Amino acid sequence: MVICIWGRLLIRKSVEFFLSILTVLWMIKFLCAVLGTIFLEFWKRAENSWAFLWDVTDYEINEPDRPEFYGTTTETVSKIAYSFNSYTKNCIKS
């Protein structure tokens, strides 16, 4: 009888301890998710404010192609064609 009571108590305490650890882990996961989201939103806000201050919000759209640049190979990355030279070919050309 005494062993049964101690066994039940031990099982109940171990389950409570396990659940308390799980609760703490879930709180840590939730805190990391919230802090990560807040950090990313502040990062985007700071990035946009610096782009506005430096007047580069549409920099890639307005930037003309450089006439002295020509590539020998065309690579398609994300449906945009890029022309480029390798480093060794650039050294040989100059």
The stretch 39-45 carries a mean pLDDT of 96
pLDDT at 6: 63
Residue 43 pLDDT exceeds 80: yes
Domain count, the chain: 1
Averaged pLDDT of the chain: 76
Q: What is d(CA 6, CA 92) in angstroms, rounded to the nearest whole number?
A: 83
Confidence at residue 22, expressed as pLDDT on a 0 to 100 scale: 83
Global confidence as pTM: 0.48
Q: What gap in Å lies between CA 83 and CA 76, rounded to an integer?
A: 9
Alpha carbon distance, N-terminus to C-terminus of the chain: 93
List the domain range (segments joined by +) for residue 18: 2-93
